[in-house]
């Protein structure tokens, strides 16, 4: 009999999505700028927090 382990990591994804929606609303971005923010925002977060990892 095999044991199946199920892990859920949806809380981080939901937090990221909520932050993205907050950014769109706070900056009053248009749709296409919001799509662009979806791509660029994680990059800038990574650049900002990368010194903490070293």
Query: Does the pLDDT of residue 32 top 80, yes or no?
Result: yes
Locate 4 and state its tokens.
């199946």
Q: CB under 8 Å to 37, separation ≥6 — which residues?
A: 20, 23, 24, 27, 29
Q: What is the pLDDT of residue 21?
A: 82
Q: What is the pLDDT of residue 7?
A: 79
Share of residues in the chain with pLDDT > 90 (%): 0
Q: What is the pLDDT of residue 33?
A: 82
**Residues 15-31: tens digit of each pLDDT:** 888 887 887 788 787 88
Q: Indicate whether this model's pTM tops 0.85.
A: no
């Amino acid at each position: 009999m095999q044991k199946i382990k199920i892990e859920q990591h949806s809380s981080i994804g939901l937090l990221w999505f909520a932050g993205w929606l907050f950014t769109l609303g706070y900056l009053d971005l248009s749709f296409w700028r919001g799509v662009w923010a979806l791509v660029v925002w994680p990059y800038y977060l990574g650049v900002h927090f990368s010194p903490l990892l070293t």
